[in-house]
Structure 1
Amino acid sequence: MKISPYVFGLTAVLTATVALSTAGLMTRLITMDAPTLLFWRGIISGAFLLLCLLVWKGRGVRGDFARLGFSGLAICIASATSATLFISALHETTVAHVAIIFATCPFLAAGLGFAVLGERPGRGALVASSVAMAGVLLMIGTGDEGSLFGDILAFAMTATVALWTVLVRRYPNKPVLACSVLSTLLTAAFAVPFAAPLAVSGHDLAVVVLFAVFGFSLGVVLLIIGSRALPPVESALIGALDAPLAPFLVWLFVGEVPSVTTLVGGTVVLSAVTLHVVSTTMFNRSACQT
């Protein structure tokens, strides 16, 4: 049975969200500072993705990079900037704060999607986004966790992710792996003046390798592919699943216990996203049958 583009995009973005939600756990398992982590993760991810690109394309690799152009470079810069802000925020505030602030991305993506692409988000997506935002406000309402500087970094990261989502939708013909390779290498280039790449332990480097390949690299590729098949607001809305997932993983493996409001708010966000995805999928199936 042939899978519809929407279902394929939905599956890809959901899988990517789970993979990318492990970034907070990675930062808690190592003692590496943010610039050094960004450098090593960028180098490792870039090398791995470049190897995949060479295996897949062979001599066509040059053509892929040549086709990036200014629009492709803008996508790569947005991706590298968001990754830099993301890791920096995780070092300055709690995983829960970074995750729940990122859950506001649907609102930014919806506004940018309408302004740039002229795509009006459906009423269901807007309602689900509002419910998700209510969960976010509930989680951060106590004000006794995180730091102001870290939260500002997280908000800046959220804005660049929303911009990246819209750019990917606006320029769907850009080569996926070439964009991924360049963005990860740009992340390393941004960090290298402030990093100490040789002052790391073998344990920390092994953890970064594991997460860079199976978390970050896999997640980014799937997110790029999946975002092309979904409206920006829906891609960002599914990404809001990071809000409950990231703190849950940190609690499960490291014992960083989230507050009661974080647990309740995360449940609200998760419920909003799940109900929206299920209802949209059922609507698309009924439309295809008719």
Structure 2
Amino acid sequence: MNKVSDDGERRRRSLRLKGFLIAGLGVLLLSPDSLLVKVTEVSPLVFLFWRGLLLAFGFTVINTLRYGRDLPGLMVKGGWAGLYCAFAFFLSTVGFVTGIKYTAAGNVLVILNTAPVIAALLAWAFWRERLPLRTWLLIGVCVGGATLMALGEMGKGEPLGLVMAGLAAFGLASNLAVARSRSTVDMSVMLVLGALLTTLVAAALGGAQWPGWPDMGFITLLCLGFLPSATILIQTGPRYLPAAEVSLLLLLETVIGTFLVWAFLAEVPPPLSFVGGGIILAALAMNGAFEALRQRRRNSLLAGPQP
């Protein structure tokens, strides 16, 4: 019985590590998103049209390579939960792009940092999934650091940008929470539907226009280079980790994304941004070190005394 329990615990921790690696790589690939959205000079509707169209193509290619002829059946298997994930992806995409266009990148990224709290509350309210106190403390520290990053940019931009960023945070959190509730199904195959919905809505509102160069080059680089793989990896994360912990890893984008915008577009972060960014990085690094230490101790106990 103990061996079965130990094997189960070892497998659970192995899956957690796999989830951290998958979602973490996705976040790193996602980090140039704010910069490449900000650097273009097209309207949000035109950007959304091409973003949705190119992402739909990218998602289709990647998932076809992954699953081949099984892809349609996997999409059907997603059911209503999968359809909601697709719709929530649409909400987060529209909210993020519109928010970036109408307010400072730091504001949008900070509002998105409420996603771990939203995801945790949704998971608790609907599926009674509980997080350990340590994770709640980590969320609190990281959101506090993100708030410091935002203080210097408060009041910049239009209120619409802040509202849309809030919509993006809810869409992101609810998407990951619902995906977690069906962890046996790969919900990343549903992303193509969310991307197509984005394209159709943007086209209906007049976004089906050629953006010209070099904007089309930036959009293509983002939507065929970074985003498809990044989004699929992040969407896969809840199969192995609670939605709140996947959202927590997205806090890395707050730091990396803000400083990429600073480096390339001269949107200079205020001094508090350096403090807040340091807090986020330190908290996530300490959590990673704690997880690694606990795993090492657990492995030592499972191995038992050596002859």
How does the TM-score come out when normalised to structure 1? Answer: 0.92
**Range that drifts further, 32-41 or 174-183:** 174-183
Give 3-state SS (helix, strand or coil) of 2:24's partner. Answer: helix
Change in Cα spacing, 1:194 to 1:65, as seen in structure 2 (3 Å) is same
> Following the alignment from structure 2 to structure 1, what is the Cα–Cα distance between the partners of residues 167 and 296?
37
Change in Cα spacing, 1:190 to 1:281, as seen in structure 2 (3 Å) is farther
1:67 — aligned with what? Answer: 77
> Following the alignment from structure 1 to structure 2, what is the Cα–Cα distance between the partners of residues 56 and 131?
38
> Following the alignment from structure 1 to structure 2, what is the Cα–Cα distance between the partners of residues 97 and 154?
8
> Following the alignment from structure 1 to structure 2, what is the Cα–Cα distance between the partners of residues 187 and 57?
24
**Residues matched between the structures, number:** 289
Deviations 1:128-170 (A, max 9, x none): 1111122233233343434332122212211221111110100
Q: State which structure, 1 or 2, has the greater radius of gyration over its C-alpha atoms.
A: 2
Deviation for aligned residue 1:230: 0.8
Give 3-state SS (helix, strand or coil) of 2:214's partner. Answer: helix
1:161 — aligned with what? Answer: 172
Find 1:47's aligned residue among 29, 33, 57.
57
Find 2:30's aligned residue among 17, 20, 42.
20
Deviations 1:76-109 (A, max 9, x none): 1111111111111001111111111212222112
1:133 and 2:143 aligned: yes
**Range that drifts further, 130-139 or 118-127:** 130-139
1:101 and 2:91 aligned: no
2:6 — aligned with what? Answer: none
Change in Cα spacing, 1:248 to 1:141, as seen in structure 2 (3 Å) is closer
1:122 — aligned with what? Answer: 132
1:212 and 2:219 aligned: no
Change in Cα spacing, 1:133 to 1:57, as seen in structure 2 (3 Å) is closer
2:289 — aligned with what? Answer: 278
1:84 and 2:97 aligned: no
Find 1:240's aligned residue among 241, 248, 251.
251
Deviation for aligned residue 1:244: 1.0
The letter of the residue matching 2:144 is A
Identity %, equivalent residues: 24
Deviation for aligned residue 1:228: 1.4
1:203 and 2:218 aligned: no
1:25·1:250 contact (CA, 8 Å) conserved in 2?
A: yes
> Following the alignment from structure 1 to structure 2, what is the Cα–Cα distance between the partners of residues 231 and 284?
18
2:7 — aligned with what? Answer: none
1:145 — aligned with what? Answer: 156
Structure 1 vs Structure 2 CA RMSD: 1.9
1:227 — aligned with what? Answer: 238
Change in Cα spacing, 1:289 to 1:225, as seen in structure 2 (3 Å) is farther
The letter of the residue matching 1:91 is K
Deviation for aligned residue 1:71: 1.4
1:58 — aligned with what? Answer: 68
> Following the alignment from structure 2 to structure 1, what is the Cα–Cα distance between the partners of residues 145 and 186?
36
Deviation for aligned residue 1:111: 1.2
The letter of the residue matching 1:282 is L
How does the TM-score come out when normalised to structure 2? Answer: 0.87
1:268 — aligned with what? Answer: 279
2:85·2:187 contact (CA, 8 Å) conserved in 1?
A: no
Change in Cα spacing, 1:177 to 1:118, as seen in structure 2 (3 Å) is closer
2:91·2:168 contact (CA, 8 Å) conserved in 1?
A: yes
Deviation for aligned residue 1:177: 4.3
